[in-house]
Amino acid sequence: MRNGIKGIRRVSAVAVTAGAVLTAGAFTAPAQAAAPKTPTIAAKGGFVMNNGTGKTLFTKAADTRRSTGSTTKIMTARVVLAQSNLNLDSKVTVQKAYSDYIVDNNWASSAKLIVGDKVTVRQLLYGLMLPSGCDAAYALADKFGSGSTRAARVKSFIGKMNSTAKSLGMTNTHFDSFDGIGRGANYSTPRDLTKLASNAMKYSTFRTVVKTKSTTQKVTTKSGGYRNMSWTNTNALLGSYSGTLGVKTGSGPEAKYCLVFAATRGGKTVIGTVLASSSVTNRTADAKKLMDYSFKK
């Protein structure tokens, strides 16, 4: 009998212990993943959103107006792509005024267009967005503005840039140039530029161009022959950050170093902007930090 009693006691003890474990488990919440730490960036302004939902994921002085440098060219491309009956294969003859403009403006980056060459609108978009050609921007403004003189056409094109900004709800944006070399009234914000880039990415040609790391394009020379133009993208995220979709770099004495960026991972697309970062290296590092953070949110 004594052995039987010991067995009963042992079973009871096991049952009580198991019950205690089950009871404790019922009141223990499952472990939660720690919220990602908000990153510190060198840029004076930044903004990131979920491109699918529009949800804000990060802000830093997101509505403070700043000089935008060549991120302005996103709007240049957007205005061109919105033209009715746009023929991307129509040809534009490179004028001396475009190359003179590069010489006259020390901060003007160039697609190295050659006077007399005939380049297509599509090629000009590559020259605009990859090497950030201010000569390509000038050619597009001259082509798609309205007026009997080049000055009138450029003014008209910049007017289209501003009317487009207004239609997109970019309330803290104004353009006074086709390329970001402003005359004192060319500004935007991280939030507005992100909004613009998100809209521009709806155009398949824009998506194709800004995702291109480098390209070689055959253009027609003045004499009717051909030459190859090679352009490399200034966006260091391409090839260095998995899932990068684009979008555009910018720099200038006042703008410092800017970057509008977008990437997709795991079916989630994030898009954002950093303005007035401290160097080329830091604007890229800022963007990577913000995207890493945003993909975890």
pLDDT digits (tens, 9 = 90+) for 238-260: 999 999 999 999 999 999 999 99
Task: Clarify whether 214 is annotated catalytic.
Answer: no
Q: Report the SS3 class of residue 45.
A: strand
Containing structural domain, residue 77: 45-296
Q: How confident is the model at residue 9 (pLDDT cuts 50, 70, 90)?
A: very low
Alpha carbon 264 to its chain's center? 12
Q: Is residue 68 part of a domain?
A: yes
Q: Is residue 35 part of a domain?
A: no
Q: How confident is the model at residue 36 (pLDDT cuts 50, 70, 90)?
A: confident
Comparing CA positions, the residue from 171, 233, 232 lying closest to residue 196 is: 171
pLDDT at 47: 98
pLDDT at 31: 54
Residue type, 66: R
Question: Can you tell me the mean pLDDT for 15-41?
Answer: 60
Helices (H), the chain: 2-26, 73-81, 96-104, 121-129, 134-144, 150-167, 190-200, 204-210, 280-296
Q: Is residue 168 part of a domain?
A: yes
Q: What is the pLDDT of residues 96-121, one digit of tens each?
A: 999 999 999 987 999 999 999 999 99
**Catalytic residue (one of 67, 109, 110, 132):** 132
pLDDT at 35: 80
**Catalytic residue (one of 70, 177, 277, 294):** 70
Q: Is residue 289 part of a domain?
A: yes
Q: Is residue 74 part of a domain?
A: yes
Distance CA 42, CA 44 (A): 7
pLDDT at 1: 47
pLDDT at 16 over 60: no
pLDDT at 125 over 50: yes
pLDDT at 151: 97
**Residue 267: which CATH number?**
3.40.710.10
Distance CA 133, CA 98 (A): 10
pLDDT at 224 over 50: yes
pLDDT at 229 over 90: yes
Task: Clarify whether 242 is annotated catalytic.
Answer: no
Q: Is residue 18 part of a domain?
A: no
Alpha-carbon separation of residue 27 from 15, 19, 23, 33, 200 (angstroms): 19, 13, 7, 19, 51
pLDDT at 25: 46
**Catalytic residue (one of 60, 67, 73, 109):** 73
pLDDT at 26 over 80: no
Q: How confident is the model at residue 33 (pLDDT cuts 50, 70, 90)?
A: low
Q: Is residue 3 part of a domain?
A: no
Task: Clarify whether 132 is annotated catalytic.
Answer: yes
Domain count, the chain: 1
pLDDT at 183: 80
pLDDT at 20 over 60: no
User: Phi-psi category of 256—alpha, beta or left, where left has phi over 0 and alpha has psi -120 to 50?
Assistant: left
Binding residues: 248
Q: Is residue 144 part of a domain?
A: yes
Q: How confident is the model at residue 184 (pLDDT cuts 50, 70, 90)?
A: confident
Binding residues for substrate: 248
User: What does DSSP say about strands 56-60 and 45-50: parallel, antiparallel, or unpaired?
Assistant: antiparallel
pLDDT at 68: 96
Give the position of tokens 């009717």: 224
Lowest-pLDDT range, 46-50, 105-109, 130-134? 105-109
Question: Can you tell me the mean pLDDT for 16-45?
Answer: 66
Q: How confident is the model at residue 32 (pLDDT cuts 50, 70, 90)?
A: low
